[in-house]
Structure 1
Amino acid sequence: MTTILQTLQISPADGAAAELTLPLTFFDMWWVHFHPIRRVLFYDHPCSTAEFLTTIVPNLEKSLSLTLKHFPPAAGNLLYPTDTAKNKPLLRYTAGDSLRLTVAESGRDFDYLTANHPRDADPFWDFVPDLAPPVDAGAYLHAPLMAVQATHFPGRGVALGIANLHLLGDGSAVNASLILGWASISKSAGDEDFLRAQQKLESAPIFDRRVIKDAAGIDGIFWDEMRKTPFSPAPFPLPTNQVRATFGLTRSDLEKLKNRVLVKKPGLNRVSSFVAAACYVWSCVARSEPDGDDAYELFVAPVDVRGRRNALIDPPVPGNYFGNCIAFAVVEIRHGELVGEGGFEAAAEAATEKIRNGVNDAAALLKGAEDWMNEMKKCQEKKMKVFGVSGSPKFDLGIADFGWGKAKKVEYVTLDGENYSMSLANARDGGGGLEFGLSLPEKRMEAFTAIFADGLNK
């Protein structure tokens, strides 16, 4: 159903740094063995095969090359040491490195793929590139950090699949800076507008890892744990045996959910739309599991640490730092409480307090960071379920306009391998609501859909 037409290697345009070597900070080291982040942006842009190959693909090549000039690490590699006792991993770009761009054509139903109702999850993997396997280069294994695929649906549209190791950067770096920057350069057919915006906002990306102060040597603590696991990139989890669907929460729905929390928890004063949406979905997903035990469950909300001063990071990390710079607000609650009467409200109260403390007190957010690995091991040993969020309304890829308008749909294919997670973005109608995506086994998706709708009618 999907045919590879050509494979291109895209290097940064003239003017890129000749070499860039970046050690991993403790914010990066956390993600060494994490699966690649994979997402697909679908664009309703009817065009012929000839136009796709002679106009769209060359523009994507040129604009991607110009983008890599400003973000050279994306064309580089993770260097993973073969002697983990002697060396630590690092990121490196050298002149001549390139990023793989796969060009494909698909006969799959574009409208089916971009619908909201439950659809088989497997076909979406046709549109994301696999990252090339690591190459043994002696002292290090070289693993590409990023790859891109452009897929044409004749007469209907275009899909851009983007995969990257989380080590390249977090959502602020990869989504909001690199991908949206690429879209801007593609739409304007040059990087002049991009450069003017950088100059105006003083936001040229900063790659220097020395802005992350780590006097406690947390990166070494994390590496001592990480190096116990052999490095092996995650394969495509096919068949997924799951379906994916998109759901919406209108502005009215969100206000209703917030009021439900405030009525039961009046001391909070305010509940954010993020907390209301994420905790409501979390509680509904938990309730959709027929045989859940009463173990503790965790909700993990990422918090951007840029611009926040504390003992570990002083002075604060600049807002235009390109890399990973997130900590976590963690909510812990028993399954029985989460799925019971008032479970959503209890979760929202705990999440509000955790996130508020993190936003207002960066020292509290990073307190005990050296023990993050041990805490994660304890959770794994207890087989605790961890509910996470991919994407963010703050770094919404739906607005990425490569010259074909905003994306009709953004799918985080990564969800298929996580099973207990959601994607979150602004509603496409611009009405102030949110939309989220889930990937679940079909029967469980049916249960979730009913529980989700019933809860909004209360």
Structure 2
Amino acid sequence: MSTTVLETSGISPPPGSAADLTLPLCFFDIIWVHFHPIRRLIFYNHPCTEAEFSTTIVPNLKHSLSLTLQHYPPVAGNLLYPLDTDKSRPLIRYVSGDTAPLTIAVSHRDFDELTGGHARDSDQFYDFLPPMPPLAEEENYKIAPLIALQATLFPGRGICIGLSNHHCLGDARSIVGFMWAWAEVNRNSGDKQLRNRSSPLIYDRSVFGDTKNADEKFWSAMRNVALTPSSFPLPSGRLRAAFTLHQSDTKKLKNMVLSKNPDLAFISSFAVTAAYTWSSVVKSADAAGEEVDENSDEVFFFPADARGRPNAMVDPPVPENYFGNCLGGGMIKMEHKKVAAEEGFVAAAAAIADGIKNQVNDKENFLKGAENWLSDMPKFGELSTFGVSGSPKFDLLDSDFGWGTGSRLEVLSMDKEKYSMSLCNSSDSAGGLVVGLSLPKERMEAFATIFEGGLKF
């Protein structure tokens, strides 16, 4: 066996350091209760021996995780899901003695093969990802752990930190913030900076004001869905690969969009990167010989952090140091034939730029009608959708445990039926953004040809 699990330990905050906490879920959280766990891997180029790993690195990771959890107690807590969903709603609870599981493993797989950008079998990456602990039951609730962590050594080459978390624990800003904090404590051998930060984390859901109507609508739509254990999506039948758009590439793409849309004053790197990837994925269906109705709709979803952003629902806006879920976003719908056309990228980029301006940056429209999000979802069930996972603003690769920043991010939760892209910053000298994809073999080959060919101008 190429990967061996050495141990799994439950890590808790230092005794007496974190007060018990109960957090009823609001609509921002409830929407994610039945969503699959978010699964991510961070690879680090850090050659070390098995002896150094077991005697120094592992003890340091355990100690720093314990210190970090006292500032992030919900991470060690559990989701309590009511057995009688007519009488109560789910909540997050931390009580003294709760732990976050940390698995320690060693692997003799090819580190360079795993961390390359070329197409690789998705299934091989699951050795480095901890499974979510099983559901338990207590009185009136099912108990679902919220996180699982793993550190895997590749002797003489590097380390991989694996992270699985329930989305109802928090969005990218929250979870990445926790990982940054753990890395910082490990790197500095202490939590002094966390203790002294000017804006301590806020967990209290009252920052949302009165969202009772939305809370009730969301729970009414979700409460008849059974809470099921998470499972690994194996075999996925997918390949995963990474594609870099350097700053010079995005500049050319921006110029192309602006030359075709002279009334467009500005377009962001995110807009052109997302549009170029989306249009290439849509085109790859045709190139791979899939049957597609050219008049059917393609839908692109993109997230937007709602903290500190004026909006139609929460006034004043949610503070930026709030920990939990606080996501809005935008949605673009276009006919397949328009996205797949020769200038489909330009049309998609202009539409995304317009969505950012009029759906996200417009106070009157951002979060408008949020209480109806769940009831609107079924209409997208049969459509071809594409989304974004992660953000360059909250980049897991910036988690420096003392081994330098990460060299490769893999988002394994993209190995699902619907397609999406991950996004992080490029670490090479040319700068830019790295797009991660998980696609079937024929689609991946077609996508790579389209993506790389489209940049040759």
Q: TM-score if structure 1 supplies the norm length?
A: 0.96
1:118 corresponds to: 119
CA distance in structure 2 between the partners assigned to 1:15 and 1:361 by the alignment: 45
Between the aligned residues of both structures, percent identity stands at 52
1:442 corresponds to: 441
Listed one character per residue, the Cα deviations across residues 202-221 of structure 1 (whole Å, up to 9, x for unaligned) are 23211111101234510110
Please give the secondary structure, in 2, of the residue aligned with 1:61. helix
CA distance in structure 2 between the partners assigned to 1:34 and 1:249 by the alignment: 30
Out of 261, 266, 282, which is 2:278 matched to? 282
**Is the 2:71–2:194 contact (alpha carbons within 8 Å) kept by the matching residues of 1?**
no
> Does 2:167 match 1:193?
no
CA distance in structure 1 between the partners assigned to 2:333 and 2:54 by the alignment: 51
Out of 258, 262, 279, which is 1:266 matched to? 262
Q: CA deviation at 1:457?
A: 1.4
Please give the secondary structure, in 2, of the residue aligned with 1:252. helix
1:108 corresponds to: 109
1:64 corresponds to: 65
Matches within 5 A, 1:191-340: 191-196=191-196, 198=197, 202-215=198-211, 217-289=213-285, 290=289, 291-294=291-294, 295-340=296-341
1:433 corresponds to: 432
Taking a change above 3 Å as real, the CA distance of residues 22 and 271 of structure 1, as seen in their structure-2 partners, is same
**Is the 1:298–1:384 contact (alpha carbons within 8 Å) kept by the matching residues of 2?**
yes
CA distance in structure 2 between the partners assigned to 1:135 and 1:236 by the alignment: 19
- Of stretches 10-19 and 50-59 in structure 1, the one that deviates more from structure 2 is 10-19
**Is the 1:303–1:355 contact (alpha carbons within 8 Å) kept by the matching residues of 2?**
no
CA distance in structure 1 between the partners assigned to 2:431 and 2:117 by the alignment: 18
Aligned residues: 451
Please give the secondary structure, in 2, of the residue aligned with 1:231. coil
**Is the 1:338–1:344 contact (alpha carbons within 8 Å) kept by the matching residues of 2?**
yes
Letter in 2 for 1:57: V
Q: CA deviation at 1:160?
A: 0.5
**Is the 1:250–1:432 contact (alpha carbons within 8 Å) kept by the matching residues of 2?**
yes
Listed one character per residue, the Cα deviations across residues 229-273 of structure 1 (whole Å, up to 9, x for unaligned) are 111133101111111111110111001111111111121111100
1:49 corresponds to: 50
CA distance in structure 2 between the partners assigned to 1:114 and 1:153 by the alignment: 12
Q: CA deviation at 1:14?
A: 3.9
Q: CA deviation at 1:418?
A: 4.6
CA distance in structure 2 between the partners assigned to 1:455 and 1:357 by the alignment: 29
Q: CA deviation at 1:162?
A: 0.6
Q: CA deviation at 1:357?
A: 2.3
Please give the secondary structure, in 2, of the residue aligned with 1:21. strand
**Is the 1:15–1:69 contact (alpha carbons within 8 Å) kept by the matching residues of 2?**
no
**Is the 1:33–1:233 contact (alpha carbons within 8 Å) kept by the matching residues of 2?**
no
Q: CA deviation at 1:358?
A: 3.6
2:93 corresponds to: 92
Q: Whose helix fraction is larger, Structure 1's or Structure 2's?
A: 1
CA distance in structure 1 between the partners assigned to 2:334 and 2:390 by the alignment: 23
CA distance in structure 1 between the partners assigned to 2:333 and 2:8 by the alignment: 46
2:385 corresponds to: 386
CA distance in structure 1 between the partners assigned to 2:265 and 2:236 by the alignment: 42
Listed one character per residue, the Cα deviations across residues 387-443 of structure 1 (whole Å, up to 9, x for unaligned) are 111111100111211011111111111111254111101111153311111111112
Q: CA deviation at 1:329?
A: 0.6
CA distance in structure 1 between the partners assigned to 2:17 and 2:113 by the alignment: 41
- Of stretches 354-363 and 383-392 in structure 1, the one that deviates more from structure 2 is 354-363
1:179 corresponds to: 179
CA distance in structure 2 between the partners assigned to 1:7 and 1:442 by the alignment: 35
Letter in 2 for 1:117: H
CA distance in structure 1 between the partners assigned to 2:35 and 2:109 by the alignment: 30
CA distance in structure 2 between the partners assigned to 1:14 and 1:265 by the alignment: 60
CA distance in structure 1 between the partners assigned to 2:75 and 2:392 by the alignment: 23
> Does 2:355 match 1:354?
yes
**Is the 2:385–2:418 contact (alpha carbons within 8 Å) kept by the matching residues of 1?**
no
CA distance in structure 2 between the partners assigned to 1:211 and 1:71 by the alignment: 18
Q: CA deviation at 1:108?
A: 0.6
Letter in 2 for 1:455: G
Q: TM-score if structure 2 supplies the norm length?
A: 0.96
CA distance in structure 1 between the partners assigned to 2:305 and 2:44 by the alignment: 29
